[in-house]
Amino acid sequence: MEKLSLEKLNRISVEEFKQAEKTPITVVLDNVRSALNVGSVFRTCDAFRIERIVLCGITATPPNNEIRKTAIGAEQSVEWSYAKDSISAVNDLKSQGYTIIAVEQADQSVMIDHLDSVQITKAALVFGNEVKGVDDGIMDICDICVEIPQFGTKHSLNVSVSAGIAIWEFFKTLK
């Protein structure tokens, strides 16, 4: 077995990415503290041709060296915007017909692997602060809260890991 070279991967250019049809997912990062996590989410969004990222509150925005370090250029391909207030940003997405999905541990959360029957045409996946999670105001207005099953001793996953898992699950559903 031979690993594929970069040339053999046949990846599209940034300009081709911008013109390509996108997966109808918007990712909302609600006060994510680590720019390295933000960069990692950009890279995952690029991999699955996510339509955009909304960076809220204290979340770092490009240009930023730490974002660049983990995004390795994805901050150039994935559309992004900044909103000072995450609740207003999420309400705006809701008014545009997005299903608002908090990725959080909550009393009424649905395990992400049990979403087969849910009908969603475009999703806004909300990921929260590494310590406080998704803002309570967003939890009050979300349509669904999904949780990623965990079986170890830790209480949570890194936000960029959670984003990767959730984006993959919704990518499979929406593509």
We report the CATH number of the domain holding residue 122 as: 3.40.1280.10
1 part of a folded domain: no
84 part of a folded domain: yes
Q: Quote the number of domains for the chain.
A: 1
φ, ψ (nearest 5 deg) of residue 50: -70, 145
pLDDT confidence of residue 114: 85
pLDDT confidence of residue 116: 65
4 part of a folded domain: no
pLDDT confidence of residue 100: 97
Series of mean pLDDT values for 10-residue runs along the chain (175 residues): 88 95 97 98 98 98 98 97 98 98 96 79 96 96 96 94 96 85
55 - beta bridge partners?
Answer: 29, 82
pLDDT confidence of residue 51: 97
Pairing between strand 50-56 and 23-30?
Answer: parallel
pLDDT confidence of residue 175: 75
Contact 58, 135 (CB under 8 A): no
pLDDT confidence of residue 57: 98
3 part of a folded domain: no
Q: Which residue, among 76, 41, 54, 23, has the nearest Cα to 160 in the 3D structure?
A: 41
pLDDT confidence of residue 118: 65
pLDDT confidence of residue 82: 98
pTM, whole model, 2 decimals? 0.95
77 part of a folded domain: yes
11 part of a folded domain: no
10 part of a folded domain: no
pLDDT confidence of residue 115: 79
Domain range for 136 is 20-147+156-174
5 part of a folded domain: no
Supply 99's token pair: 């299903």
